[in-house]
Amino acid sequence: MVRAAILSAVGAPLEIAGIELPEPGPGRVRVRLAAAGVCHSDLSLSNGTMRIPLPAVLGHEGAGTVVSVGEGVTHVAPGDGVVLNWAPSCGTCPACLIGEVWLCDSALAGATGIHARTADGTELHPGLNVGAFAEETVVAANCVLPLPAGVPLTDAALLGCAVLTGYGAVHHAARVREGESVVVFGVGGVGLAVLQSARIAGAGPVIAVDVSPEKEALARAAGATAYVVASDTTAKDIRRLTGGRGADVAVECVGRATTIRTAWDSTRRGGRTTVVGIGGKDQRVTFHALELFHWGRTLSGCVYGNSDPAKDLPVLAEHIRAGRFDLSALVTERIALDGIPAAFDTMLAGRGGRALVVFQDA
C-alpha cells in the first residue's frame, strides 16, 4: 500500500488513502515520487472544468526514482531519476507525423485505464496518465523521461508541466525574439516560468500582470522589469510601458475571457497573443470583424507549451545548469500530500506561485 490523493467525484474533497499498485507489466515502469507540483490543471480536474474518468489519483507534474521496470523497458533502469511526462506522444498519428507531438491523438489514452485499487477493491484511474499525487506510481514507459544530469530531483518535478509549458509558450508558441516586449498575465507557477523564459529569450521590457500586489517581488525575481496590478486600465498601462504601442507579445496564463481579451487589447498592431490558461466552456471571448482586420493581431492557443519534452528537456537542463533558469524560484510552498486541498484554496485566492508536494523519502 502507498498513500495517494484520490478524487472520487467532481467537486468532492480529495481523500488521502492507501492504494494498491500492480507490478509493472511489459512496457511499464514503477516510480517512487520525490515530488509533485500542484498545478491549476489539477484544480480544473477536481472542479469539473476538465473531465477525466473517475475515481482517479490526481497529479500530473512529478519526478522520482525508478523502482522497477517491466519487460521491454530499456531507456531507464531501477535507481534512475526520471521526470514524468503526462502527455506522451505515439509517434504514428497525423499530428505526430508532422512534428506536432503536443497534439498527439493518443496522448491521454492511458487515463482511461485502471491504475490501482483502494483497500476495498475500488478501481482507480490515473489522472492525466500518471497519478503523481502518490508516494509511488506505475506508468507507461513513454511517460518517463530520464532526469538530465545536474538537475535536482525534487525541483525537477516542475519540468513535467509548468516549466515545459512556460518555456514552450515563449520559444515555440509565441516565438519571442530578442528585444521584443512581452506581457505575462498571471503570476502563478506557469507565469513565473514564462517570465524566466522571456528573460532567456532576451525580451524587453518584460511586464507581469496579476490581481495580487503581493506577487510583485516574485515576478521581478523571475525577470519582470515592470509590474501591473490588474484593473480596468490594464491595457492602457501596458501601452504606456511600451512607448504607446502595446506589447509585441502577450502570454495569458489565467484562462478567463476578460483576461484573454485584455491580453489581446494590450498588444500592438500586428502583435501576438498566446493563451496558455485553461478556461471553462462558459468563458466566451468576442471580437468584431473590423478590429480583426484593422489590428492584424494573432491569437493562438498553446498546449503543453507546444513542446516536445524529449527535445526540450536537454535544452532546459542546460539553462538550469548554467544558472539561467532557477527551478526553485517557482516554488512558494513545500507541502505534504495532505496539504493539497489547502494549496487549491491558495490557488483559488490568487496567492503564491507553485506548491510542491515533497515526499518524505525524497
362 pLDDT above the threshold of 70? no
pTM across the whole model? 0.94
Question: d(Cα 221, Cα 354) in Å, to the nearest integer?
Answer: 15
Query: Average pLDDT for residues 106-130, to the nearest whole number?
Result: 92
Measure CA 331 to chain center. 13
Kindly report, residue by residue over 211-247, the tens digit of the pLDDT.
Answer: 999 999 999 999 999 999 999 999 999 999 999 999 9
What pLDDT was estimated at residue 40?
86
CATH architecture of 2-160+326-358: Alpha-Beta Complex (3.90)
What is the Cα–Cα distance from 334 to 106, expressed in whole angstroms?
A: 33
Range 53-57 average pLDDT: 94
Which H or E run includes 313?
A: helix 309-321
Residue 351 has pLDDT above 90, yes or no: no
- Quick one: which of 7, 41, 38, 21 has its CA closest to 352? 38
Q: Which amino acid is at 356?
A: L
pLDDT of residue 228: 98
Q: Which residues pair with 183 in a beta bridge?
A: 207, 250
Average pLDDT, the chain: 94
Can you point out the beta strands (E) in 163-318? 182-185, 206-210, 226-229, 247-252, 267-275, 298-301
CATH 3.40.50.720 fits 166-303, yes or no: yes
Contact assessment for residue 33 and residue 135, using Cβ atoms and an 8 Å cutoff: yes
3-state class of 118 per DSSP? strand
Please calculate the CA angle 203-302-210 and round it to the nearest 5 degrees. Answer: 60
Q: What is the pLDDT of residues 100-109, one digit of tens each?
A: 999 999 999 8
Question: What whole-number percentage of the chain has pLDDT above 90?
Answer: 88
- Which is nearest to 360 in space by CA: 122, 139, 64, 107? 64
Report the run of H or E that residue 236 belongs to, with start and end. Answer: helix 234-241
Indicate if 166-303 has the same CATH topology as 2-160+326-358: no
C-alpha of 190 from chain center: 6
Q: Per residue in 288-329, pLDDT tens?
A: 999 999 999 999 999 999 999 999 999 999 999 999 999 999
Kindly list the domain boundaries of the chain, sorted by start residue: 2-160+326-358, 166-303
Question: Binning pLDDT at 50, 70 and 90, where does residue 361 land?
Answer: low
The pLDDT assigned to 350 comes to: 81
Joined together, the cell numbers standing for residue 31 give 516510480
